[in-house]
Structure 1
């Protein structure tokens, strides 16, 4: 398994910034000692093309799709692109897969993911070069026990998003000691409780109103009364770590203590269209060796 370091960066910033700004930012992250950058696929930029651009702009940084949506492209396209990235940038690209994109009616996520992995594996077996310079490495977005089981059996491990430390401990138990567990967690540099919770609720809003996320939060132990109405203080404080840099760093380390191999830190609360780079600098000083 590639060494992503204990802490990395998770960001939506690169979904909207000009390519030159993205290059400058990711190069500074590498210079400051960050070993891994994670990014989603929600803003219109194609996941594997974006990964290639970030890899090309850096020399040693690990680039992780968190996640590439399985319903956004056929398995053949994912196989071709990820195989090329593995060959061109050995041991630096990690393909994170999750259900997303234009959903197929009547197909459940677990079955869809298993079928997608079957297609990827079949394409690998049929490849004229079955042993590429570097193998495609993949993890699955997983929350419930069945998807975590699939992640353990069919990939290097799991990637979680917006979970509490209790979930991290439970996921480690299901995955066992050897599978990779990467945990994303939002942070907010704000010490005023009212302001912090207001910003956190704005960030969490879309996640508190979609069926799969609501089901996830119920499994995390939050009753409907705490999920509705923008989320209870307990839920908000568990899912968004806010405060000064030392407080935030201590809370992030709790995921590691609970069993995470890697924690990808997502800074929220920046101005729309802005950059999280100043906060990444502060986090580097607090979290990196």
Structure 2
């Protein structure tokens, strides 16, 4: 079974520490195909393993393991341990982080190649990992050395460009941030608070400009146009449409990140799942 079939059309992205076993079970019940663990999960993957043990069918994916923080040899050992216990249900999302957050980040393209070399030598299959790629050179590594890519804070037009660059067989699984709020003023305040840190990171602002946003759009906390486009807000139907826009642009799977990140997302995700027509699971 290919990842596009295994993951289903829509999953959920949430920071690793904020995904409880109860939430994972609820996401599975609601019909989401995957839970993506963000915030640079450690190489031991113990939390991912616990979530897999608490559920039956949902895929657990890392979104992403940071190559500067997670030892690749340890990650490989963790992969094989989990694969033996929960075959086919773990997907490794791998990324190179950000210059502003990682002082040792240097020559990330070469570092990614070396990291993947270790995984190869340890027998971690190419098809069981995806590379987070924002620029064209990292996207090429994703194509050559993984099942595909898991981009973050991108828009449907960039999904379409990635699909064209990667071809039809590679997995394209973008993240889409959403706020279930029909009041534009309060929704934008939530979105701006979330985006503030990312708008100080060169790789994200560069990617935003590649996506068609101007220097003015990325300045001073982001224009309304940028905020509304990258962090979609509205009722459940509007947020379901935001996910569908990526699918229509060529994504195989979209993972939704619900804001505010500190709140329990279950109710919002239940409404979005219903709007998407996801098949709920019982028993």
TM-score higher than 0.5: yes
2:237–2:272 CA contact under 8 A, matched in 1 = no
Of residues 93, 97, 101, the one that matches 2:94 is 97
Q: Deviations over 1:149-181 (max 9, x none)?
A: 111110000001110111001010111110000
**Residues 22-48 of structure 1, C-alpha deviation per residue, up to 9 Å, x if partnerless?**
111211221222221111135x76671
TM-score normalized by the length of structure 2: 0.90
- Conserved? CA contact 1:64–1:94, under 8 Å: yes
In structure 1, the residue corresponding to 2:197 is in which secondary structure?
helix
Rounded to whole Å, the distance in 1 between the matches of 2:225 and 2:170 is 30
Q: Which residue of structure 2 lines up, in the alignment, with residue 177 of structure 1?
A: 168
CA RMSD of aligned residues (A): 2.1
Name the structure 2 match of 1:127.
Answer: none
Q: Number of matched residues?
A: 273
- 2:23 equivalent to 1:11: no
1:180-219 equivalence runs, <5 A: 180-219=171-210
Aligned to 1:38: 36
Report what 1:286 is aligned to. Answer: 275
Deviation (angstroms), 1:53: 1.2
Question: Take 1:72 and 1:269, find their aligned partners in 2: how far apart are those partners?
Answer: 26
User: Which structure 1 residue ranges, 5 or more long, are not aligned?
Assistant: 125-131
2:229 corresponding residue in structure 1: 238
Q: Report the CA distance between 1:107 and its aligned residue.
A: 2.3
Contact conserved, 1:76 with 1:123, CA < 8 A, in 2?
A: yes
In structure 2, the CA distance between the partners of 1:81 and 1:107, relative to structure 1 (3 Å rule), is same
- 2:243 maps to 1:267: no
TM-score normalized by structure 1? 0.88
Aligned-pair CA distance for 1:100:
3.2
Residue 174 of structure 2 contacts residue 255 of structure 2 at CA under 8 Å; is this kept in 1? Answer: yes
